[in-house]
Each structure stands twice: as structure tokens, then as C-alpha cells.
Structure 1
Amino acid sequence: MSDLPDATRQGAKPLGRLEAAEVTRPSRWHAAWDSDLSYNFRRSPVAMVAAAVTLLLVLSAVFAPLIAPTNPFDPASLNLMNGFSQPGVANQFTGDTFLMGTDDQGRDVFSTILYGMRISLFVGVMAVLLAMVLGISLGLIAGYVGGLTDAVIMRVADVQLTFPSILVALLIFGIARGVIPIEYRDQMAIWVLILAIGLSDWVQFARVVRGATLVERGKEYVQAARLIGRGSGAIMVRHILPNVLSPVLVIATISLALAIIAEATLSFLGVGAPPTQPSLGTLIRIGQDFLFSGEWWILFFPACTLLALALSVNLLGDWLRDALNPKLND
């Protein structure tokens, strides 16, 4: 009897199978760490570097008011005597030194990049969310309902695909700017930009979701939901939608990089963010005016930041696409 455990000697009940399973069940953190997605991420140096760069840039933009030496959106903090200061060189008039130099208005380029990234990321994320909501909704309806509804939605998508997305965004931006009164145009410029980019990128979400919905709607769980009296809307949202989200997440990641580039393109063309709230594209447009006069840093640093942000997000999207593809993981 002395060799028996204390719990058995005291008459305690041994653990059942379910209780033993609960004791040995790993935590959510351990389950996430041991998942296939986490394993593929740890095996990809490119994905880890891209994630680190993306996280660094996003955190820098979020905490820009704490990191930036000055607020470039506050005219009271600007000194025109600091204009065109070279990177790391003291200004000959004020003696101030700036890490990445200043632009023509005396704004610290490093501070404008941090604040400009906030606008670029905000526009990109909101535009992708708008495109996702619109594309997923139309794709679910087209794939589940079918018939004339499917034909109309897909023909509209095909027509939009015949035009470059940047031209569609320019058209939508121009129409919206024409409707908005002049005194509110600068205030609404960011939201008009989000609307223009979002409406120009919904097609790819709709086509992917429609194709996945056509596959899912014939499966047994959808038929069972119909038999118990579930409505079409509940079936699409609660049953089909969770099973078609994997490719949507991949497209959303890649679309974020494209949306940031689209915002920079529109702002570079002068139809994006206003000069009082410059995004990365606006900073590049301003720097391009002074490139050939020797003030290269006004263009160089914002362009490098935009390149690093778009490239890192795009590389993350490529890795996520490969990681979620079961054919590549066999």
C-alpha cells in the first residue's frame, strides 16, 4: 500500500478520460505556436523580415505624435528659416539639425513621413475594408442566388475590369469632388479618396467569393440548413461566409499594398490628400519639384518609406497565400 499515490490511499477518485484530457489540453498560445501557419512563418526568413518591417512602420505611424520631433500639421511650429536644411547638417540661420532634413516650408521630413504614413495607412486600410464589404456581399449574392442576379453582377464586374483601377479611381474621385461644395473639399478629400479606391478594387473580392460560394452552396451542411428552415441571408452569412474567408484574407493583404500605392499615385497626381495633410504620395510630389535643384532628400526619404511599406505588406501577402494553399503544403 505504501507504493500507491497519496490520492489513491486517501480514497480519491482517479481522473476520468475527459478530466485527464482537460488537464493535458494545451493553452491557446501553445496551440497557435504549434499550428501549421506559425510553423510556416518561422521557416520563412522573408516573411519574418517583412512582418518586422511592417510592424515597425505601422507602430511608427500610430505613435507618430510621441516619436516625431515636430508636428508638421501645426503652422505655428514651423520656421521658414529652416527650409531646405540638409540631413544631419545644422541650418546656417537657426543652427537646428534635422535627421532627414527639411522641405521648402521648413517642415522636418522625418516628422512629415511619420504623419504621412498615418494617412496612407488609414486610406489603405479603410479602402480595403470598403472593397471587402462590397465585394464579399456581391460575391455571396451572385454565387448563392445565381440566375439573372449573378449575370448582372458579374457583367458589371467584367466591364470594370476592362478599365485600369487607377482610371476608375480618378473618375470616381472627380465625380465626388464635383458633387461636394468647394468649402468642404479639403475636409472630405481623405474620405473621397477612400471611396474612390474602395469602389475600384471590389471586383477581385467579388469574383473569388462567388467562385467559392458556387462550390459551397451544393454541400451537405448548406442543404441541411435549408431543411431546418434557415433563410438565405442566414445561410450566406453564418454558414457559407466562414468557409470562403481564407482566400479573402490573402487578397486583402495584397490589396492593402496596392491601395497604399494607389493612394500615393493619386496624391502624386494632385487629386489625393491635400497639401495641409500630406500623405506619402503628396510628399513625393512635393519632393519631385525640388529634385533637380539639389534638394534630393525631400523626395528620397518618403519614396524609400513608401517602397518599404508596400513591399513588406506585399511579401506578407505572398507568404500568406502560399501558407494557406494546401497543395503547396503537402
Structure 2
Amino acid sequence: MPRPGHSDAPSDQATAPQPSGTTQARPQDTLRRAWDSDLAYSFRTSPVALVSGVVALLIILAAVLAPWLAPQNPYSTRDLILMDGFTAPMQPSLLGNVYLLGTDDQGRDVLSAILYGARISLFVGFSAVLFAMVLGITLGLVAGYRGGWVDGLLMRIADVQLTFPSILLALLIFGIARGMIPPAYRETMAIWVLIVAIGLSDWVQYARVVRGATMVEKNKEYVQAARVIGVHPARILTRHILPNVMGPVLVIGTIGLALAIIAEATLSFLGVGVPPTTPSLGTLIRNGQSYLFSGEWWILAFPAAALLALALSVNLLGDWLRDALNPRLR
């Protein structure tokens, strides 16, 4: 006999369909897990990482949005006012115009030139790091997985390259590649040649780290099992080994971005980098150093400060990421 108040009919909770919000909660759960992860907690609790991340993000956003944020296009002859040349920061020019960071010898707004120059520096830096990362990871995976004479040949090439300073090697590669390009295309291809030169001078560190991690991973049981069932080596490298060696590569890539930006600025300062028609931060510094001792200090000081802030913030982010991904420091 059923108990009083008890019904044999299924309850409403058992028969009610699942609410549609359960499928929408998955992205929220993913974001919550990401927010509660060790990496996010380490970032939130590190004042250096927070300040560096904000500074780097502001510079990157300002560079990307330069066409909308810059007061003028500094490389358009229609916007240049020669009468406003050598105007000090926040001082009225001969025509009564006021510029926040002053102007250079040709009347270009220094703030606008920095925003547009940062776009070139960031583009070269990101592209060079991406090129060096792809090349270094590929060669490191092949050397670590194959071993034998392939490993020996690639590592001996890497050892020889390490004997040369990276900036001198980039200068040599840039000169050789530029000499092989017809004169009519040298200006248009200068940025791409610079990217290849910096990338070829920095691939060794990625290859050596990935090679060492691959030699450890290939002897583990999951790789041995994949070999036994006949999985192709390329699939083993890309689907199994590569995800497990990306942690150190991301750290090197973050620090390498700051080094690539400095390398681009160094080459442009020496006059062998970005052409004057599309100057970067290094070109602005080279132009400004000619007027440093004549009283127009702002032409050099502000581009140098922007380069310093960008490189330092990215470098500090790389140091934080290295410590955050180190299991011994957790």
C-alpha cells in the first residue's frame, strides 16, 4: 500500500526536460576554470606581471589603432607643416599649433611618428619570432626524434651559429639577401628581408630546447604505444610530442619578442633595417640623435622611451611566464 501523500506517478523533476541553459553554461565553466587556473592566479597576484601586461597591451593597442589615434599621418606630405619644425613639447609653434610631444625637423608630430613607428617594430618583431619559432621547432623535432647523423648535422650547424653574435649574424644575412634582390625591389622587400634575417639568427635556441624535450618524450610509453600501432612519425610529432614541448617554447618566444624588437631597432639605427619611407622606432632614434646636442632633445627622448617601455614590459612578461610555468617554483 502506498504511503499517504505518495504517488506512483513520476515526479516533475524526473520528467522535466533539462533547461536549455545547461548548454550555455559550458563556455562560462571554461572561462571560470581558466580564471581559477594556476597561471591566471599567478598573473593576478604578481604586481610586476600586471603592470607589464598593462603597459605592453596599451602600447600594442595604440600601435594597432594608430590611424585612428594619431593626430596626423606623419608620412603624408599633405599633413606636414614645415613651419612647425622643431616645436618643443606643449609649446606653440610659429603658426600657433601645439603638439603634445613636439615635432621633428620636418614638422612631423613626434607622437604620431611613435605610434606609426611602433606598428613597424611590432610587426617585424612578431613576424621574426614566428619565423624563428616555426623553423626552430621543426628542426628541433626532427633532430630529437630521428637522432643519428640528422641530429648531429643540425646540432653542429647550431653550434657554429652560436659562435657568432646574433646581431652581427642578422646584419650579415640582411646584407647578403639585400644584395641578391634587384635594386628596384629593395625598398619594398626591406622589411621582409629584415624579418628573415632576424629569424634566421634566432632559431637555434628554439631548436635546442625542443630537441632536448623531444628526446625525453619519445622514450615515454605513449609514444612507444603510438609506434607499435603504426602511427606515422609526422603525426606522432605534431599530435603527441609537440603539445608537450610548447611550454618552454612559449617562454623563449615571449623573451625573444623583446630581443627581436631591439634587434630591429639596432639594425634600423645602423641604417640597414627599415627604409626611411616607413621608419620604425629604431629609425626615429637614429634621426633624433642628430639633434640631441643642439637642444631638440625630444626628437630622440620620446621614441627611445617608447622602445624602452615596450621591450622592458615584454621582457618582464617573459620572466614571469618562465617562473609561472616552472613546476619547481609552484
Same fold (TM over 0.5): yes
In structure 1, the residue matched to 2:195 is 194
How many residues align? The count is 322
C-alpha separation between the residues in 2 aligned to 1:2 and 1:9?
16
Letter matched to residue 79 of structure 1: I
**TM-score between the two structures when normalised by the length of structure 1:** 0.93
Compute the displacement of 1:10 (Å): 3.9
> Residue by residue, what CA displacement relative to the aligned partner does 1:127-186 show, whole Å, maximum 9, x if unpaired?
000000000000000000000000000000000000000000000000011011112111
In structure 2, the residue matched to 1:267 is 268
C-alpha separation between the residues in 2 aligned to 1:280 and 1:167?
20
In structure 2, the residue matched to 1:130 is 131
In structure 1, the residue matched to 2:230 is 229
C-alpha separation between the residues in 2 aligned to 1:3 and 1:29?
44
Q: Are residue 243 (structure 1) and residue 244 (structure 2) matched?
A: yes
C-alpha separation between the residues in 1 aligned to 2:85 and 2:183?
31
What secondary structure is seen at the aligned counterpart in 2 of 1:12?
A: helix
Contact 1:209 1:244 in 2 (8 A): yes
Q: 1:67 aligns with which of 63, 66, 69?
A: 69
What secondary structure is seen at the aligned counterpart in 1 of 2:187?
A: helix
Compute the displacement of 1:11 (Å): 7.2
Compute the displacement of 1:247 (Å): 0.4
In structure 2, the residue matched to 1:152 is 153
In structure 1, the residue matched to 2:33 is 31
In structure 2, the residue matched to 1:279 is 280
> Residue by residue, what CA displacement relative to the aligned partner does 1:229-263 show, whole Å, maximum 9, x if unpaired?
11111111111101100000000000000000000
Letter matched to residue 42 of structure 1: R
C-alpha separation between the residues in 2 aligned to 1:77 and 1:264?
26
What secondary structure is seen at the aligned counterpart in 2 of 1:75?
A: coil
**CA distance 1:2–1:90, shift in 2 (3 Å):** farther
**CA distance 1:163–1:8, shift in 2 (3 Å):** same
Q: Are residue 77 (structure 1) and residue 59 (structure 2) matched?
A: no
In structure 2, the residue matched to 1:90 is 92
In structure 2, the residue matched to 1:46 is 48
In structure 1, the residue matched to 2:121 is 120
In structure 2, the residue matched to 1:210 is 211
Contact 1:8 1:14 in 2 (8 A): no
C-alpha separation between the residues in 2 aligned to 1:11 and 1:288?
77
- Worse-superposed segment, 22-31 or 286-295: 22-31
Compute the displacement of 1:105 (Å): 1.1
**CA distance 1:13–1:2, shift in 2 (3 Å):** farther
**CA distance 1:237–1:80, shift in 2 (3 Å):** same
C-alpha separation between the residues in 1 aligned to 2:183 and 2:16?
78
**CA distance 1:230–1:95, shift in 2 (3 Å):** same
Question: Which ranges of structure 2 fall in alignment gaps of 5 or more residues?
Answer: none
Q: 1:12 aligns with which of 11, 14, 37?
A: 14
**Percent of paired sites with the same residue:** 68
What secondary structure is seen at the aligned counterpart in 2 of 1:275?
A: coil
> Residue by residue, what CA displacement relative to the aligned partner does 1:47-95 show, whole Å, maximum 9, x if unpaired?
0000000000000000000000000121221111111111000102x21
- Worse-superposed segment, 171-180 or 231-240: 231-240
**CA distance 1:328–1:9, shift in 2 (3 Å):** same
Letter matched to residue 57 of structure 1: I
Letter matched to residue 154 of structure 1: M
